[in-house]
Structure 1
């Protein structure tokens, strides 16, 4: 990999933050709306230079902006693993602050080693609010104990994650929700694909469009949504965006096959087109760290009906830009959906989306991050 090129002139006036992603999920900035990149763009406007380290199938360096660099390092291990070579890159970059994304992965220890070696303040961005499985729970508790005397701040994405951080014995916890990078989306005239044409045709025929975006095999989301559809009249069409497409298709039966559109993977820049052409977004996960798709939906003017958990209950303002349900019972959801459309509450909520959407962007959210970083460095 070529040596990271740093602008000497920029380094004189900008403070530097290094963001370390330890996730086992490979994400490409070319096709995915990476939260850390949206944050980086907003931080650059506030006077920062940002380097993001992530895992990838092979080493790759991308310059996303004059002051934003993205480096993918080959991952050591699979589900439990870390980007190889992070310590070398961190030392080379000489950041003023190191930020690690979550604590339930071994990359946490790379950040900790670098913090101790360089004497650089270490902060964490925490989204989880519980852990599933004995081994993961034990790892999290051990890691929290190892880092608690070395962490300057924990940036909690939700109030639930703040409570979780407190339970782990971590201090200096701050409420710092993530945001939307509003500049990544393209307009309708930039897309001519079968699925958007199908959505528009159905809307023109007077059908209502329900939408869901995400991993289609996540928990029992798709089975649950299909049960809802079976309790709804034929005027409702469901749009499913994500993979694995085959998983969703094998669950579709004759009762609903004509009312479900499964797009497969869609580049994130087109997600706004789907959402702005939908009438209601369904956020029904039992566990939702933040709920970025729900936030994107509100930003694009599509109200959300959500299960009240994690970040969902903080994104949705009940009866303003969406509605919260405390139970996951298909008939109850279907009854609620019918009621919302029959009483035209959807139109009111769409106006609420327009009023609240801007508050969910990184340009709004990043000011909290910036203030915490500045306080840490004082």
Structure 2
């Protein structure tokens, strides 16, 4: 089959730390790669900016094509609406021959869904949609601070999502929570929805049940190492995490233990929004007198990322809302349990007390309590949690099985 991915804002080959780079980009790249390994041809259409190449291979059979739209430079996904028709027009013109023979058009996120819908109508091709995140659920958890709603543009996004869902031939939901929201909050046809979770390249991550030796090799001398990662965005909950840090530090200190938190502060050349959020993090840490308990980092290389996953005693996901939580599965693949938000996909990934815990990051005491439950447990229990996390990553979230399930969805909508 020939499969077209439409994902204007989420370049599958975006560099770590780049604006709007993250788990969705990794998901798109790995699914495209695995579909290509199954013998399909995948072309991914995304926005060109920052001097990137027009064409770039993910692997043999999976290629990213970038076309400009709107103004020069980075464009927030929330501001892409007026420019999406331009993106579709450029793509249809430059990919006309290939798209005429495509088997399916697959849109990712609402901007990708909107462009895929336009393309599927123009071409008469089946439409599939993966939301990756839903506007209604995000609006429930994160209020737009602007009087005119221009920060997140929830109204536009939710209207678009409803139109896409109504038109789609099939919908890929990443979790049961997402499927319930699609049917109950959006009125989507349950018969069109397939649950296919995100995945992990288990071969890229190294399982380590004894963490101490690697922590020392990396220069960490405290008793515990806690890790979180993500782009510098208020939606990732790092400021909420900061509020829980002093509770954890003081409780461990009373037990004669020390801890280091690994927390990102964004790229070395941040955008104005990233810079403002960085200052807020540093200022709050200074106010709480926990700066010495935090190791801040900028952009990580892949090697550093894998090492920190492997070395950490816990991975933390403090997002107020997380649609899936690919980072949790990556942590699991390294034998690292998690403490994560219960809002969204993590509720389907984490089995509390077995491979991690769930707690609302907006309640610092509750989030800190679950961290402490994990760290202060007997070593035998902590080892069992590490082993359970690793087993779940390998048995449930390996990329080949994820891609095979998505390929089945493409076959099911063929005329």
TM-score by length of structure 2 reads: 0.76
1:176 lines up with 2:212 in the alignment = no
* Cα displacement string for residues 207-257 of structure 1 (whole angstroms, at most 9, x for unaligned residues): 200111113342482232222221123501101135158433343227222
Aligned partners of 2:186 and 2:302: how far apart in 1?
Answer: 34
1:185/1:268 contact within 8 Å kept? no
Q: 1:164 aligns with which of 181, 190, 213?
A: 181
The alpha-carbon distance between structure 1 residues 306 and 313, as it changes in their structure 2 partners (threshold 3 A), is: same
Structure 1, unmatched stretches of 5+, are: 1-14, 189-195
1:212 lines up with 2:206 in the alignment = no
* Cα displacement string for residues 122-164 of structure 1 (whole angstroms, at most 9, x for unaligned residues): 1001222343356744324533454455321011122222223
Aligned partners of 2:303 and 2:219: how far apart in 1?
Answer: 22
1:67 lines up with 2:100 in the alignment = no
TM-score by length of structure 1 reads: 0.83
1:22: which partner in 2?
8
Aligned partners of 2:130 and 2:365: how far apart in 1?
Answer: 37
Is the deviation greater in 279-288 or in 32-41?
32-41
Give the deviation of 1:347 after TM superposition: 1.9
Structure 2, unmatched stretches of 5+, are: 209-213, 267-273
Asked which structure has the greater RCO (Cα within 8 Å, sep 6+), the reply is: 2
1:315 lines up with 2:349 in the alignment = yes
The alpha-carbon distance between structure 1 residues 72 and 257, as it changes in their structure 2 partners (threshold 3 A), is: same
Q: How does 1:14-53 map to 2 (within 5 A)?
A: 15-23=1-9, 28-29=13-14, 31=16, 34-53=26-45
Report which of the two has the higher share of helix: 2
2:219: which partner in 1?
201
Give the deviation of 1:263 after TM superposition: 1.1
The alpha-carbon distance between structure 1 residues 52 and 337, as it changes in their structure 2 partners (threshold 3 A), is: same
How large is the RMSD of aligned CA atoms in angstroms? 2.9
2:36/2:42 contact within 8 Å kept? yes
Give the deviation of 1:40 after TM superposition: 1.1
1:252: which partner in 2?
285
Where 1:337 maps in the other structure, the secondary structure is: helix
1:19/1:100 contact within 8 Å kept? yes
* Cα displacement string for residues 147-206 of structure 1 (whole angstroms, at most 9, x for unaligned residues): 455321011122222223223233212212222234556999xxxxxxx9887332xx35
Aligned partners of 1:199 and 1:328: how far apart in 2?
Answer: 34
1:150: which partner in 2?
167
Give the deviation of 1:16 after TM superposition: 0.6
Q: 2:261 aligns with which of 221, 238, 248?
A: 238
Where 2:47 maps in the other structure, the secondary structure is: strand
Q: 2:392 aligns with which of 343, 353, 356?
A: 356
Aligned partners of 2:240 and 2:4: how far apart in 1?
Answer: 40
Aligned length: 352
Where 1:75 maps in the other structure, the secondary structure is: coil
1:130/1:164 contact within 8 Å kept? no
1:39/1:366 contact within 8 Å kept? yes
* Cα displacement string for residues 53-110 of structure 1 (whole angstroms, at most 9, x for unaligned residues): 112314521122220111122232533224732222442322211100022x3x5443
